[in-house]
Chain A
Amino acid sequence: MTLTASPPPRPARWPLVRALLRQPVAVVTLAFLLLVVVASLFAPQIAPYTADAFDLPARLSGPTARHLLGTDELGRDMLSRLLYGGSKALLGIVEAVLTAVLVALPVGILAGYVGGRFDRAVSFVTDLVLAIPAIILVLVVLTVFPGNMHAAMIAFGLLVAPGFARIIRGVTLPLQEADFVSAARVAGVSEGRIMARHILPGVTRTAIVQASFVAANALLFAVALGFLGLTANPGEPEWGQIVAAAAHQISTQPWLLVPSGGLIALMALSLMLFGNALRDAAAEVGSAAGTGSGAAAVALPAPAVADVVRPVAPDALLSVRDLSVVFTGRGQDTLVVDRVGFDVRAGETVGLVGESGAGKSITALAVLRLLARGGRITSGQVFFEGQDVARLDDRAFDRLRGSALGLISQEPLASLDPAFSIGSQLGELVGLHDRVSGKANRERCLELLRQVQMRQPERVLQSYPHELSGGMAQRVAIAMALAGRPKLLIADEPTTALDVTVQKEILGLLRQLQRETGMAVLIVTHNLGVVADICDRVIVLYAGQVFEDAGVLNLFDRPLNPYTLGLIGANPAHAQPGQLLPVIPGRVPPPGSWPVSCRFAPRCAFAAPQCTAGPVPLLQPVSGHYSRCVRTDELFLNAAPGADHPLPLSPARPGHQEAS
């Protein structure tokens, strides 16, 4: 049995705590909150005075050496009073948060998971409770339980629970449809256990943020009740009363409001910030980032090796040289495309092929300067019709893109605005490129739709994106790309989301458009069948580098790179049922953990010492055929007779009924 990869790094113990300690905000707020909690709990031991000890000579003194935070109008020590009042406020927070969480979590999860009548009943109650002002209900509770802060805080918890539950329900809804929940059901796990084990952890992050929000509000609510004297007697060392007393002296000693109000504000702020930090830490634990995968490996450009020099082809429409792209995330630069170069000639179809993580889409998007946030081109030239467009400013490049350079993407529906009809979207582009309006504009739109072989183009013009099938939407997207009469169409996985029969139509359409307009096509795909069908030339990418670059017939007839050979061999179309497929072991290394040597060497059946000695160059063993393999000559070109020749591909293609 083959091991897929080296085992992932052992997870650290207490991953949540570690993730939390990595955040400065978490450390500071947690330290502050712990300090307040401990100081409040041990108030009798650490407070310099008792809460009611008078020091009349020092009344309203402000901060002094004897009274660090000053004294009130009776000379009572402010620090001691705040310390003694802490436990009551903290208890109030705990009561409110516990009540809200204990009610909202089960109710929200049940409403989202079970749905139906229970869900509707919960929504009804939620609406009802949200319509009643909280303070009025709490006043009612306090008339029943006079002066009872516990009753008031529990009532507060119950009042915020419905809104809380509604948020939990919203997070539960997509979770209950997740595959892992379906798998648990199929595995015979009981519904209650699924909720506890699979749904609960998924809603925890949201619950933490909500709970910290409730905690901060509960603190302010408890203080407000004390301030009003509803849950505390005048003169009691309680935070609300302390603030009330300070408010009385605002004209004589304004300092008094600073320690009391400041403490409450800092507490509320700390609770919220800590909640956010806890959520982020939990998110980090649930994602790859927190587990140290690749945290150490920052791939910087490998030391330059002597790739075969490819002068810029004078007859090439697009000539890319030494293109490197770096993505920045979490403070790290990760190289994702490493000095890629290729040519596209006029009227030619070139395929960029590779597995996920090879950098094929990013290469294509970098040519168009359409990299996602965080990505930037760090080196290289992009010559279009002999001009280095990488040096153009953004405005000049915008003019080029959309006219001479067109793009179609994998998700045709995503590239159409759902709010506008096809006619208005296409018409806008036509207006932009041809500067025509009215009837001429419409005629050009219809012409474009006919060009992409759309049936009933008049009707399509009036329809909206959601009314189109995937194939029709891709035709519209192609029509939009054609509006600028491009010389080069860049197609990023244009058929991946489509059914095979529709894929065939779209590939046929691209081929015909090329015949009609003479445009070149750069197609990004992972499908070797698509490559064989439509490409004239193929560039195989692996781990951000060009591994092979050849004409399509040469590539399939006589691949000169072990990776290409492995890819072709792994195709089930070539295999006999019951026989195991020839596989490439291991996995594509993600950007950031590329080996310094030949990046395919760890998976390569033909790896030799020279393959792992250092970076390997792109060579041109045969004219017009490039391969990044130092063993090309001995493996593919001068294989000794009787040696283990790496071309195990059987010419027989079972199962392909080729009608003749």
Chain B
Amino acid sequence: MTVSEVHTNRLAPEAPRKPLLAVRDLEVQYRRRRTDPVLRASDVVSLEVFPGETVGVVGESGSGKSTIAKAALGLAPVHSGSIHLAGRDITHLGPRGRRDLSRVLQVVFQDPNASLNPYLTVERSLAEPLEAHGLRGPELHRRVAEALDRVGLPPESSGRYPAQFSGGQKQRVAIARALIVDPQLVICDEAVSALDLSIQAQILNLLVEQQRGKQLSYLFISHDIEVVRYISDRIYVLYLGQVMETGPAGAVTGNPAHPYTQELLDSAPVADPRVQRRRREEEARRKAAQVTAPADTRPPTHGCPFAPRCPYVLDVCLAQRPPLMPTQEGGLVACHRFPEWKTLRDAPQGVAP
């Protein structure tokens, strides 16, 4: 299958497909004791991942993006809402019930140094998911060698300890461990964020290569909108535990429907000094024309969480939470001022809130 075929296949939203992962109205709360106040890590979030698709989740710290991953993996307490995986409700599944899930759902974490047990050889780390399903003997050995080959590591690696590998190589081992059971969905929680630029590119390529010719889905969580744009078919933009915008990757990053997405894109510096200079000048022009200065930094209880930082804020934004509304590009956006804010941004001279 060629790249373009994969893409057209993936981007056919009309087909009545069932989502592989469906998160509905998820709310996760961390409380250390029963008497502690409720800490909301993720406020009602809904999200879907279809078979063979890469879904990017982007947001800043505190957006709750990693919490969604933890909830789906059974590593965070779900307060309300539901999580379905391959049609099965896994919201409150215990450790025993989760064992079967490991064939479907796997994970790659951020820190390659922490995600491998330093006392186990690579072979033992890789064999573990298979052993959990009762595989033993030469077949196990063969699968480990195969998995190492898939991620581009020499077969001699199997007898070595994680300390003998570089960060990028460890991340390859972690990916091999995730892929060894041929899962349908791999959650990548900031999987390339701790890597150097040249290694990050290698790992991104590896993830893309693994998907070719397979029905493998990724839920790719990152704070880096450029990486998410590159790897994702669809993107969710999260802010303070709420979905601000979602849609096809090209639309979300090329023509954002939410002012927060716009801010994320504007903030990520581009490796081109001329572009950066132009962006700064444009922003200075916009700033000069606008009078809105966000006063209170605390998010309102009822309104849009982004309202205090939003340059296009109105009274309604502080009073009422905007629902997710469809955009023309096939996405959804939660903004009272869509699409008019885009005209205001392009021609800010006439702003009169």
Contacts and interface: CB of A to CB of B under 8 A. Distances in A.
Interface of A: 1-5, 7-11, 178-180, 182-191, 193, 197-198, 201-202, 204, 285-288, 291, 293, 355-356, 470, 499-501, 503-504, 507, 526-533, 535, 552-553, 556, 566-568, 570-575, 577-585, 587-588, 590, 653-659
Contacts of A9: 164
B95 A571 contact: no
B198 A355 contact: yes
In the A-B complex, the 4 residue pairs with the closest CB atoms: A529-B269, A188-B102, A201-B119, A570-B201
Interface in B89-132: 95, 98-103, 105-107, 109-111, 114-120, 125, 128-129, 131-132
Contact of B276 (A180, A533, A583): A533
Contact of B159 (A3, A10, A570): A10
Interface string B149-170: 1101110110111011111110
Contact of A180 (B116, B165, B232, B273): B116
Interface in B256-272: 256, 263-272
Contact of B204 (A288, A499, A581, A657): A581
Given A532-B272, A577-B231, A578-B3, A4 B128 contact: no
B270 A657 contact: no
Contact of A355 (B172, B196, B250): B196
Contacts of A532: 269-273, 275-276
Given A4-B169, A572-B226, A583-B202, A656 B197 contact: no
Interface in B334-352: 345-346
A8 B275 contact: no
7 contacts: A1-B209, A186-B102, A356-B167, A532-B276, A578-B6, A583-B202, A587-B199
B154 A530 contact: no
Interface residues of B, number: 103
Contacts of B157: 7-8
B291 interface: no
Contacts of B47: none
A530 B168 CA distance: 23
Nearest to B149: A1
Contact of A185 (B98, B161, B232): B98
Interface in B189-220: 196-202, 204-205, 208-209
A566 B209 CA distance: 20
Contacts, number: 265
B134 to A, nearest CB: 10
A286 B269 contact: no
A566 B249 CA distance: 26
A186 B73 contact: yes
B227 interface: yes
B255 A657 contact: yes
A191 B99 CA distance: 11
Contact of A4 (B168, B208, B232): B168
Residue of A198, A356, A553, A583 with highest tally of chain B CB at under 10 A: A583
Contact of B119 (A202, A579, A653): A202
B329 interface: no
Given A10-B156, A556-B272, A658-B278, A575 B60 contact: no
Given A553-B274, A571-B197, 12 more contacts: A1-B149, A1-B209, A3-B152, A182-B73, A182-B109, A185-B73, A197-B128, A198-B120, A287-B163, A556-B274, A655-B253, A658-B278
A657 B256 contact: yes
A238 B201 CA distance: 70
B111 A179 contact: yes
A553 B276 CA distance: 11
Given A7-B156, A499-B61, A533-B269, A658 B279 contact: yes
B136 interface: no
B4 interface: yes
B166 A587 contact: yes
Contacts of B201: 570-572, 581-584
